[in-house]
Amino acid sequence: MKILIYSANFAPEKVGIGKYSGEMAAWLESQGHVVRVVCAPPYYPDWKVDAGYRGASYRREVWRNITVWRCPLWVPRKPTGLKRILHLMTFAASSLPMMLRHIFWRPDVVLTVAPAFMCAPAGWLTARLCGAQAWLHLQDFEVDIAFQMNMLKSPAMQKFALKAERWMLSRFNTVSSISRRMVERLETKGVRTDRIQFFPNWVDVSHIKPSCDGTTYRKELGIAEDTIVVLYAGALAAKQGLRIIPPVASLLAKRKDIVFVICGDGVLKPELASDSDGMSNVYLLPLQPFEQLGELLCMADIHLLPQNPSAADLVLPSKLSGMLASGRPVVSTCRPGTDLESVISLCGLVVPPGDLQGLAEAICTLADDPVLRLQLGHESRLWAELHVDREVVLQRMFGSLSVAPTERRAPIPVEVPLAVSEAESTAEASQRPAVRV
């Protein structure tokens, strides 16, 4: 199969959507598919384009035998609601010609990853023009989150955004999302049931093993072996609700056997550093290399997963899968009835959003009960192995592609503004591999 992945975020980004898009592309290539990617230069979670990609407009590179086209975009240093919209618009505009160029490559599947939903029209149009299957994968419901976080306040704009979203979603052959609640919401947005797929984020359970103990990190930070480590590891973004951590650490300052470690990078890092300044029970670490992820996560005795209540119903945090794979219990702030609550209630403790005292008490409950920690940690690992193991998830979603080609529709004849030379078209056609049957 020839598969074109359209994702603003991509490898080498280490966290968030870029991590999953990169791993998905690498897995598909390893299964014998021919994969191409249209994406932006890496910029997340620092909200700053990586040094090696600055100054270039469009760029073509090869990453793990995958041809990747990087399209420029504007990255705000302090992303607010309006700035985020403009940021995504610049990538949608710059990537449109590159997507249309791939009509001549004739992919079998065009898989658009949102955010950015603004890219959905280009992904659908490219698939439609060359007769490919159009697949939209939603990591977030951007429109709904924009409403709940007051990024879009105008009733007229909300009405227009919802109508545009509904119309666009109905165009795709397949629409997938990462949680059961998000899948159910797709039905309320008018997507046909037979076109909806549950496609959760995954974790490499062979890379993160509960047998690790995080000794290297404890020694580096000067944390004793018998001290309880409460760890948050991931992007330091607004929707995480992370500013609750320093106040909770302050409530537990007298507990010399409990420390908090915040590991990651992002726009909230300066605020978290300021909030925890002078606190001896809070440690801050920068984002760590992927190779050390297992050791990092297993340093924890307890994982902490706070969530902004305005986004918790709409997003199942991708970092949760790694936490569970480490075989440690999780304490999370989330509402009853959410996907996050349904998972954490099996392998951790749930606290209402904003309840500082309740969060502190939940941490103490686990800190004082090693048997309960062990029991919940076992349930965490089991859940990860059964539900979010990378091989299981990707094989379920894409395994059939190696057996039979996707049914193609006839492409629509159209004049494409960005032409490809006859020599290049001929060369690409001669290198087109046969589809496996």
Question: 3-state DSSP call for residue 71?
Answer: coil
pLDDT at 436: 30
Which ranges of 225-338 would DSSP assign to H, the alpha helix?
245-251, 269-275, 293-297, 319-325
Residue 416, CB-side half-sphere exposure with 13 Å CA sphere: 22
Mark whether 167 and 49 lie in a shared domain. yes
Average pLDDT over residues 426-431: 38
Judge whether 399 lies within some domain: yes
Q: How confident is the model at residue 431 (pLDDT cuts 50, 70, 90)?
A: very low
What is the per-residue pLDDT across 30-59, written as a single tens digit (0 to 9) for each? 999 999 999 999 999 889 999 888 877 899
Domain that holds residue 258: 215-387
Mark whether 62 and 159 lie in a shared domain. yes
Between residues 28 and 403, the one the model is more confident about: 28
Between residues 431 and 249, the one the model is more confident about: 249
Between residues 324 and 148, the one the model is more confident about: 324
Mark whether 404 and 330 lie in a shared domain. no
pLDDT at 256: 95
What is the per-residue pLDDT across 69-96, written as a single tens digit (0 to 9) for each? 999 999 998 877 678 878 889 999 999 9
Question: Is residue 152 pLDDT above 70, yes or no?
Answer: no
Q: Which residue has the tokens 């990378």?
A: 390
Q: How confident is the model at residue 426 (pLDDT cuts 50, 70, 90)?
A: very low
Please tell me the pTM assigned to this model: 0.80
Question: 3-state DSSP call for residue 63?
Answer: strand
Judge whether 207 lies within some domain: no
Q: How confident is the model at residue 162 (pLDDT cuts 50, 70, 90)?
A: confident
Cβ neighbour number for residue 414 with a 10 Å cutoff: 11
CA angle 382, 307, 278 (to 5 degrees): 105
Q: In sequence order, which residues have a C-beta less than 8 Å from that of residue 326 and are 6 or more positions away?
A: 208, 210, 212, 294, 297, 298, 300, 303, 377, 380, 381
207, 218, 219, 182: which is closest to 197 by C-alpha? Answer: 182
Mark whether 237 and 331 lie in a shared domain. yes
Average pLDDT over residues 214-232: 95
Mark whether 132 and 224 lie in a shared domain. no
Q: Which residue has the tokens 């598969």?
A: 3
Question: 3-state DSSP call for residue 38?
Answer: strand
Judge whether 208 lies within some domain: no
240, 203, 210: which is closest to 334 by C-alpha? Answer: 240
Mark whether 247 and 335 lie in a shared domain. yes
What phi and psi, each to the nearest 5 degrees, are found at residue 263? -120, 125
pLDDT at 358: 96
> How are beta strands 196-198 and 66-70 bridged, if at all?
unpaired
Domain count for the chain: 2
Give the Cα separation of 234 and 330 in Å (integer): 14
Q: Are 132 and 34 in contact (CB under 8 A)?
A: no
Q: How confident is the model at residue 402 (pLDDT cuts 50, 70, 90)?
A: low
Judge whether 30 lies within some domain: yes
Greatest distance between any 2 Cα atoms in the chain:
73
Q: How confident is the model at residue 403 (pLDDT cuts 50, 70, 90)?
A: very low
Q: How confident is the model at residue 433 (pLDDT cuts 50, 70, 90)?
A: very low
Residue 293, CB-side half-sphere exposure with 13 Å CA sphere: 22
Mark whether 364 and 398 lie in a shared domain. no
CA angle 425, 123, 166 (to 5 degrees): 155
β-bridge partners, 24: none
Least-confidence region, from 31-45, 139-153, 228-242 = 139-153
Question: Is residue 149 pLDDT above 70, yes or no?
Answer: no
Question: Is residue 404 pLDDT above 60, yes or no?
Answer: no
Give the Cα separation of 256 and 266 in Å (integer): 29
Cβ neighbour number for residue 238 with a 10 Å cutoff: 18
Q: How confident is the model at residue 233 (pLDDT cuts 50, 70, 90)?
A: very high
Q: Are 351 and 358 in contact (CB under 8 A)?
A: yes
What is the per-residue pLDDT across 252-263, written as a single tens digit (0 to 9) for each? 999 999 999 999
Most confident of 23-32, 309-318, 406-415: 23-32
Mark whether 114 and 167 lie in a shared domain. yes
Q: Are 372 and 366 in contact (CB under 8 A)?
A: yes
Mark whether 395 and 382 lie in a shared domain. no
Question: Is residue 422 pLDDT above 80, yes or no?
Answer: no
- CA torsion through residues 404, 405, 410, 412, sign: positive
Residues of the chain with pLDDT > 90, as a percent, come to 65
Q: In sequence order, which residues have a C-beta less than 8 Å from that of residue 176 and are 6 or more positions away?
A: 135, 136, 137, 138, 196, 197, 198, 199, 397
Give the Cα separation of 353 and 283 in Å (integer): 23
| Mean of all residue pLDDT scores within the chain | 87
- CA torsion through residues 148, 264, 361, 377, sign: positive
What is the per-residue pLDDT across 355-390, written as a single tens digit (0 to 9) for each? 999 999 999 999 999 999 999 999 999 999 999 999
Question: CATH number, domain at 366?
Answer: 3.40.50.2000
pLDDT at 161: 77
Average pLDDT over residues 126-135: 97
Mark whether 360 and 400 lie in a shared domain. no
Average pLDDT over residues 10-37: 95
Judge whether 315 lies within some domain: yes
pLDDT at 57: 85
Q: Which residue has the tokens 């056609």?
A: 429
What is the per-residue pLDDT across 308-345, written as a single tens digit (0 to 9) for each? 766 555 567 888 999 999 999 999 998 888 888 989 99
Cα 26 to Cα 36, 68, 340: the distances in Å are 10, 12, 28
